[in-house]
């Protein structure tokens, strides 16, 4: 009986778990805190009405279940970027019981400012001073007890990487605390604030905050106000009378926050000795320096591809073997039932085989590429790439952060498109999204490597030469991306380039084990699941086309014959053109479809080895020109269906989706026609 009651209690608790939010500047180890608190009990969800995905996780402490929501890293709650307004509106409208604000102990005065801002919205906040170990290394120690007393809130020191202080942080959540720290402005401003306060009705947000925002001229707060028209008039009258502009108020508030933050820090920070962070400076003098930065970038690029290409082979072979066995096993099972043979064939030789193909070709490179990429990200190298390359993008009226979305695009264009959220203005984000498919994704590499090997290197060549040629191709793709960005910003996406203000965080030793797990879970599986969703219907369609006959010839042959003159014009042939069309759901299956059509078989077949593939292609009229045209077109054609759907979701318009499909296709076709014409 007692046990039952406790079970019921647990269920009730689960239902109304305590909602808490996690906020903090970028690069203060916010996600490490999030992971340390929630472990692997995480999922991404959407905030109502917002498209920005955010991580949520649950954890239990002393019998209470907490639902923790991560917010994007922001410097302040002012409306500079989408992330900032998202964080702000989440804190304003969400029914959050507590907010944990993460600060960096070694940069306390700058990271404390966000906390002070958040205190104006909600007094129920907990300060988490993270990276205490890093600060100790720099000779900085923080008097946490004093800081807690000065702020009047619970303050916890943590080193999330070693899980120091995490249990204290959990315990602090159940403690009652409310802070009454107010930021004092000049007498004149204070008087204006109190006057506006008197006009306001109760709206669930501290009146003082609403009044300050109104005086600053920020309009996002207006939905909270009932008698808006009247108040607006009063506010503007007041400001006219006092002769103060919104900008002046803004300057005053941000200066007041900085001053207060500095004052507090002066009292709590004890510097043992003036040690400077030498490591970051030294690494930067190489990786962001004038001589070695470009060679190092190229080296990293080559290295990542070399590792991916070399080590993906073995798991790929293993997986495809596994799928062949599973298919045989399932076939023997299903053939015992009374379903018609054609249904069995369609499901297994069509849908299942295509699925197996996509998974075994796509999963291993992704499972290697993304963790490597995340390691560089965790280390702190990625902002340096943006720093090194920003000038190129500035010339194209874009932003250096686009180079990061391009890097992600090498893994998967859909991820790259999603990654464009880090770019602040809509125009530059669109530029990054539309041009993303000009960098080849992992799905195109197997095809490319096969063709490079059999036509340009020779079947028994070493991987290094292939990796070098591949890197050359990639550099061409990067240059094309820049060209297209310029072209778009001159035509469809005209506009002024925005600012480039980027913080370069210190290098930190990446947490290798966690990175592997998280990037596998977050990026790889996400992309893979989407690929699976599109590859099954594609498999069925391909199977139907190659198994429905009109006369003695399958539909697929009929169509490819029709397309043949068009294909020849572009240096390809009908089969290849059709393969590209059918391969739209997933780039991995373009070459397999072509091989299937050449051998007139009824389902996707694995080629025995490179030599057989070579002779098969040559027998079907392939020359070096065909190979070049095929490589060009497989680099520059419409991105896969997953990417297109992501573009639609991210831009919210079918028009931009069509542009991002047509632009690379037209470019690729033109290039192919030129190559075919010249040679």
Partner 1 sequence: MIRLSELEKNEECRIVRIFAEDKVRLRLHSLGFIEGERIKRVRVSVLGDPVMYEIDGTYVALRCEEAFLIGIERI
- Contacts to partner 1 by CB under 8 A: 75-76, 78-80, 106-107, 109-110, 113, 247, 250-251, 254-255, 258, 280-281, 284-285, 288-290, 293-294, 383, 386-392, 394, 400, 499-506
Of 184 and 325, CB closest to partner 1: 184
**Residues sharing a CB contact under 8 Å with residue 643, sequence separation 6 or more, in sequence order:** 412, 413, 414, 417, 436, 437, 441, 660
Considering the complex, what minimum distance in angstroms separates the CB of residue 382 from partner 1? 13
Of 107 and 353, CB closest to partner 1: 107
Of 419 and 505, CB closest to partner 1: 505
**Cβ count near 348 (within 10 Å):** 22
Rounded CA separation 270/404 (Å): 38
Instruction: Decide: 157 and 141 in contact? Cβ < 8 Å.
Output: no
Considering the complex, what minimum distance in angstroms separates the CB of residue 519 from partner 1? 26
Of 386 and 657, CB closest to partner 1: 386
Of 47 and 80, CB closest to partner 1: 80
Instruction: Report CA-CA distances (Å) from 551 to 554, 556, 558, 601.
Output: 8, 12, 10, 17
Rounded CA separation 98/91 (Å): 10
Considering the complex, what minimum distance in angstroms separates the CB of residue 137 from partner 1? 14
**DSSP string computed for 512-526:** HHHHHHHHIIIIIHH
**CA nearest to 315, candidates 352, 362, 351, 247:** 362
Considering the complex, what minimum distance in angstroms separates the CB of residue 292 from partner 1? 9
Of 95 and 266, CB closest to partner 1: 266
Considering the complex, what minimum distance in angstroms separates the CB of residue 75 from partner 1? 4
Q: From start to end of 2-71, where are the E strands?
A: 18-24, 42-46, 53-61, 64-70
**DSSP string computed for 451-491:** HIIIIII-TT--HHHHHHHHHHHHHHHHHHHHHHHHHHHHT
Which residues is 99 bridged to in the sheet? 21, 125
Of 265 and 304, CB closest to partner 1: 265
Rounded CA separation 669/444 (Å): 17
Of 309 and 478, CB closest to partner 1: 478
**Cβ count near 607 (within 10 Å):** 17
Biggest CA pair distance of the chain:
92
Of 74 and 587, CB closest to partner 1: 74
Considering the complex, what minimum distance in angstroms separates the CB of residue 505 from partner 1? 7
Considering the complex, what minimum distance in angstroms separates the CB of residue 294 from partner 1? 6
Instruction: Decide: 214 and 196 in contact? Cβ < 8 Å.
Output: yes
Considering the complex, what minimum distance in angstroms separates the CB of residue 5 from partner 1? 51
Considering the complex, what minimum distance in angstroms separates the CB of residue 476 from partner 1? 19
């Amino acid at each position: 009986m007692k046990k039952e009651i406790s079970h019921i209690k647990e269920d009730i608790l689960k239902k109304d778990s305590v909602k808490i939010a996690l906020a903090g500047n970028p690069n203060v180890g916010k996600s490490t805190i999030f992971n340390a608190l929630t472990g692997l009990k995480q999922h991404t969800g959407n905030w109502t009405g917002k498209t920005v995905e955010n991580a949520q996780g649950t954890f239990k402490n002393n019998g209470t279940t907490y639902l923790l929501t991560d917010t994007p890293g922001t410097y302040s709650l002012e409306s500079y970027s989408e992330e900032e307004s998202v964080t702000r509106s989440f804190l304003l409208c969400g029914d959050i019981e507590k907010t944990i604000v993460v600060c960096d102990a070694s940069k306390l005065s700058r990271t404390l400012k966000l906390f002070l801002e958040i205190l104006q919205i909600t007094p129920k906040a907990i300060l988490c001073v993270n990276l205490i170990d890093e600060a100790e290394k720099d000779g900085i120690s923080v008097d946490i007890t004093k800081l807690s007393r000065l702020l009047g809130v619970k303050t916890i020191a943590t080193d999330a990487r070693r899980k120091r202080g995490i249990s204290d942080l959990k315990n602090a959540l159940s403690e009652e605390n409310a802070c009454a720290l107010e930021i004092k402005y000049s007498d004149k401003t204070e008087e204006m604030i109190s006057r506006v306060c008197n006009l306001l009705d109760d709206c669930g947000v501290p009146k003082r905050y609403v009044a300050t925002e109104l005086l600053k001229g920020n309009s996002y707060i207006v939905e909270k106000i009932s008698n808006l028209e009247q108040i607006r008039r009063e506010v503007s009258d007041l400001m006219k009378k006092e002769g103060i502009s919104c900008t002046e108020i803004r300057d005053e508030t941000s200066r007041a926050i900085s001053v207060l933050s500095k004052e507090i820090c002066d009292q709590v920070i004890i510097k043992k000795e003036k040690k400077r962070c030498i490591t970051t400076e030294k690494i930067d003098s190489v990786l962001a320096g004038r001589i070695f930065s470009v060679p190092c970038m190229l080296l990293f690029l080559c290295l990542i591809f070399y590792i991916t290409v070399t080590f993906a082979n073995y798991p790929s072979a293993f997986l495809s073997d596994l799928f062949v066995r599973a298919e045989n096993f399932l076939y023997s099972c299903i053939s015992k039932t009374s379903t018609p043979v054609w249904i069995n064939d369609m499901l297994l030789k069509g849908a299942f085989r295509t699925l197996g193909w996509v998974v075994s070709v796509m999963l291993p490179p992704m499972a290697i590429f993304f963790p490597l990429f995340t390691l560089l990200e965790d280390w702190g190298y990625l902002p340096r790439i943006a720093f090194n390359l920003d000038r190129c993008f500035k010339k194209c009226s874009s932003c250096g952060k686009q180079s990061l979305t391009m890097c992600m695009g090498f893994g998967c264009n859909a991820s790259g498109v999603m990654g464009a959220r880090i770019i602040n203005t809509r125009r530059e984000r669109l530029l990054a999204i539309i041009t993303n498919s000009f960098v080849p994704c992992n799905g195109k590499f197997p095809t490319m490597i096969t063709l490079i090997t059999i036509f340009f290197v020779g079947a028994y060549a070493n991987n290094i030469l292939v990796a070098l040629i591949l890197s050359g191709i990639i550099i061409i793709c990067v240059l094309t991306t820049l060209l297209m960005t310029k072209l778009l910003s001159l035509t469809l996406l005209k506009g002024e380039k925005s600012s480039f203000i980027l913080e370069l965080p210190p290098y930190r030793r990446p947490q290798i084990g966690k990175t592997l797990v998280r990037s596998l879970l977050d990026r790889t599986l996400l992309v893979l699941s989407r690929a699976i969703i599109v590859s099954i219907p594609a498999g069925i369609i391909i199977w139907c086309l190659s198994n429905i006959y009109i006369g003695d010839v399958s539909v697929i042959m009929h169509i490819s014959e029709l397309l043949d003159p068009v294909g020849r014009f572009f240096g390809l042939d009908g089969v290849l053109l059709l393969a590209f069309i059918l391969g739209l759901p997933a780039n991995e299956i373009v070459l397999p479809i072509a091989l299937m059509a050449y051998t007139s078989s009824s389902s996707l077949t694995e080629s025995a080895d490179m030599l057989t593939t070579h002779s098969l292609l040559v027998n079907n009229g392939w020359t070096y020109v065909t190979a070049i045209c095929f490589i060009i077109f497989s680099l520059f054609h419409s991105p896969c269906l997953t990417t297109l759907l992501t573009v639609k979701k991210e831009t919210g318009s079918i028009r931009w989706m069509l542009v991002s499909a047509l632009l690379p296709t037209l470019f690729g076709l033109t290039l192919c026609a030129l190559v075919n014409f010249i040679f």
